[in-house]
Amino acid sequence: MYYLNVNGGKKLQGEIKISGAKNSALPLIASTILSKTPVTIENMPNVADIKTLLYLLEMLGSSYNLDNNSLNIDTSSISSTTATYDIVKTMRASILVLGPLLTRFGHCEVSLPGGCAIGSRPVDLHLKALEQMGANISIVNGYIQATAPNGLKGADITFEKITVTGTENIVMAASLADGVTTLRNCAKEPEVVQLCEVLRDGGVEIRGIGTETITITGRGRENLPSFKKFSVIPDRIEAGTYLCAGAITNSEITLTEVEKTHIEAILEKLEEMGFSFSYEDKSITIHPTDKIKPVDIVTAEYPLFPTDMQAQFVALATQANGVSTIEEKLFENRFMHINELQRLGADIEIDKDDKSRVYIRGKTELLGADVMATDLRASSALVLAGLIANGETKIHRIYHLDRGYESLEAKLNSLGSEIRRDKE
């Protein structure tokens, strides 16, 4: 096990490149189960979650070659449809193989993901939608046992809640179903959009891409599409995280390979806090402010403020002059970074009457300490706090961080931070 040793107080300068989006690469890798021919995917992020899903597809019988950030994968030789607990428990997004395996093979067994640190995160909406498409679903010994011996049928489905991987799973399932599927109350995240575009470009008829109502005309199980080569979109959460690194250290840094339209809600909140930006093609530069202002944030589905940026803004708000309010509306337990930030001296209070709301008082001088990462985005919030804490901050259990950030310390150190990865 390793920990990060962050020596705080350094100003940042220079530019870093944003990697491909983990949360786009994951459904895209799962979607290759649908492709008749091998698929090449460029700009693949080099993070642990990608390796985990590729290992799962290899266990199912696929073969792949990952050369730096370019993936070539062939799923034509899949011989198993069982996603086992030992893999799924390490990465809940493995649920994304459920729709593709079921629609292509007519049966599959996928371990239930179980809860995770940030909440119970059920998959009931995925299962209800598949049942509406004619699947028989039962839960036996912690596994989802799904069958559709005559293939899935198109259906008119309304999601009770907006679910990102739920939308992705059912779009993929509908691609090989018989007939037309209409999905209502869909997620509109850029990662969902890219998946739909890749399927459409591969030969699946899809309408309403990027809207709350998506219509898919299934091709039937005998008529798999052939995907063209494509490149993963930039990671909007990685971009937001590094903009917060520039903001919290009040430095001028430039991010390249960023899709500005995917991070409007994040830019808006940073502007409210006093920061300004300049843009050039796919690059964004954040400019310092002489006084960071407090901010009020409520997390919501895209295109509103993303829950995956909530922890980072809690850390940033410790440096604002005044009281910020942040409400987490998507997950019931996504404030575990708060106890750790308080160990660094942050002045944060959870509302006694509403546990989804926290108040952050600033500007607070943070002092380095040992802290523990609890989930992917909480880990990045602790790194941000460490960048400005006096002295050394040691962040333990950084395997959480490695799940979703490619070369984090190398990128930040290239900007002037002092971060070392040491063995426990």
- 224 or 232: CB nearest ligand EPZ: 232
Residues 6+ apart with CB under 8 A from 161: 125, 185
- Binding range to ligand EPZ, per CB under 6 A, among 123-131, 174-182, 315-323, 360-368: 123-131
Minimum Å distance from CB 331 to ligand EPZ?
5
Residue 93 within binding range of ligand EPZ, rule CB under 6 A: yes
Rg of the chain over Cα atoms, rounded to whole angstroms, equals 22
Question: Which residues, 6+ apart, have CB-to-CB distance to 12 below 8 Å?
Answer: 245, 246, 249, 251, 253, 387, 412, 415, 416, 417
Q: Interface with ligand EPZ includes 355 (CB under 6 A)?
A: no
Cα four-point dihedral sign 197, 202, 208, 211: negative
Count the residues of the shown chain that bind ligand EPZ, applying the rule CB under 6 A.
23
Residue 312 engages ligand EPZ in binding (rule: CB under 6 A): no
Cβ 189 to ligand EPZ, closest distance in Å?
7
The candidate with the shortest Cα–Cα distance to 168, out of 187, 146, 148, 147, is 187
Identify residues 239-298 at the interface with ligand EPZ (CB under 6 A): none
Q: According to CB under 6 A, which one of 10, 104, 121, 400 is a site residue for ligand EPZ?
A: 121
How far is CA 226 from each of CA 97, 204, 287, rounded to the nearest angstrom? Answer: 18, 9, 45
Residues between 367 and 386 with contacts to ligand EPZ, criterion CB under 6 A = 376-377
279/375 Cα distance (integer angstroms): 32
Taking CB under 6 A as the criterion, the residue among 124, 156, 205, 365 binding ligand EPZ is 124
Q: Which residue has the tokens 């049928």?
A: 153
Distances (CA, A) of 129 to 174, 182, 212: 10, 11, 16
186 is catalytic: no
Q: How far apart are CA 179 and CA 34, in angstroms?
A: 17
31 touches ligand EPZ by CB under 6 A: no
Smallest gap from residue 92 Cβ to ligand EPZ (A): 7
Choose, from 108, 116, 196, 244, the residue flagged as catalytic.
116
* Catalytic positions: 116
Query: Which positions touch ligand EPZ (CB under 6 A)?
Result: 23, 26, 93, 119, 121-126, 161, 163-166, 187, 307-308, 330-331, 376-377, 404
